[in-house]
Structure 1
């Protein structure tokens, strides 16, 4: 065998080298292609996945990622149950029992002040320490932050309403009218407190259920949004595009 290898011609040796080089190139290219497919496949799959309302963050991050998100998504079950239970108790007290808010506040204040007054004067007779009542001072900063946030939202709402009133955005007009119409219908069904309670219950149930079943909900939502876009395009072509909108005249200074 060794004699045969030594007796092989240079042409045969060059042919064998070319075949070996082709096999090596094919293996390296196939391995690089497979590596590229492995690197690109997660991003390609990620791009194809549709998320509700076009979100890119997890549900927990959408709600802020802090303590409120933990409460709404039942990450802190004790606190979530306490919030929902307290809200239910308040709704039952004021809606079903028909207890008035002002009377409730006054009665609770009377009971608390009476208990503390008696405890402060009778602590020597019952051999207990007097109640430690801290001095309460309301900080200014939280109220300023809340007022600033409300002011920004109100200004944004006024800006949107002004643009709609000036005839700049027909789509926003339809959205606002539809939203107000839905709110008016829901408001005719129940009182404000019941509506707030329904919103609290929805916020404590729908997000956590969606988070657990988002892989099933997102494809269905994608089909629904595609169908809505088709219907809106038909409406836009047949009705909305034919509505004449005058351009705004520049103000004369």
Structure 2
């Protein structure tokens, strides 16, 4: 099946998140990427503590929502603050996250770095693939051939030399 932008959009959920991953709105995608990099930098490199940082962010969000809701009343042309009843997370999404080996991967390095790498991959890999589809497909096919050659070499040099116990017919 040919991998078109529409197929990738549907594969990523076909909604707002897919639009961000495919960089259809470059300002939002870039701000998400920069924001996650700043958070990772603060927590991993500068070693800020997580709880105070979350509290500061929540206080800033409360101030922004307060100013937004009061400013919308003063200026009639402003749109009101967003409703929080629109945020939903399905049970299948949670199950997929738990079943994907989250704990195994995060044992190799810090959980925050793992989450940042996953976010970075979701933010950049779809658009990189769309732009350099031919080169990526060529590289993946060559990598697949190399893996198959290595497997055949291991099979012929090691696995085929292991004596097998033959079952006797009764």
Give the TM-score normalised by the residue count of structure 2. 0.62
Partner of 1:79: 28
Q: CA deviation at 1:106?
A: 3.0
Deviations 1:102-141 (A, max 9, x none): 1123344556668999x9xxx9xxxx96xxx98x7758x9
Superposed CA deviations along residues 155-184 of structure 1, whole A, max 9, x for unmatched, are x679xxxxxxxxxxxxxxxxxxxxx6xx47
Partner of 1:24: none
Residue 202, structure 1, aligned to residue 124, structure 2: no
Partner of 1:102: 51
Map of 1:237 onto structure 2: 156
Unaligned 5+ runs, structure 2: 75-79, 166-170
Q: SS of 2:88's equivalent?
A: helix
How far apart in 2 are the matches of 1:114 and 1:73?
32
Q: Which runs of 5+ in 1 are unaligned?
A: 1-54, 159-179, 246-253
Pick from 29, 33, 38 the counterpart of residue 89 of structure 1. Answer: 38
C-alpha separation between the residues in 1 aligned to 2:23 and 2:153?
Answer: 42
Matched, 1:148 2:92: yes
Q: Distance in 1 between matches of 2:18 and 2:64?
A: 37
Asked which structure has the greater CA Rg, the reply is: 1
Pairing of 1:40-119 with structure 2 (within 5 A) = 56-58=2-4, 60-62=6-8, 63-64=11-12, 65-109=14-58
Quote the RMSD (CA, aligned, Å). 4.1
User: What's 1:215 paired with?
Assistant: 134
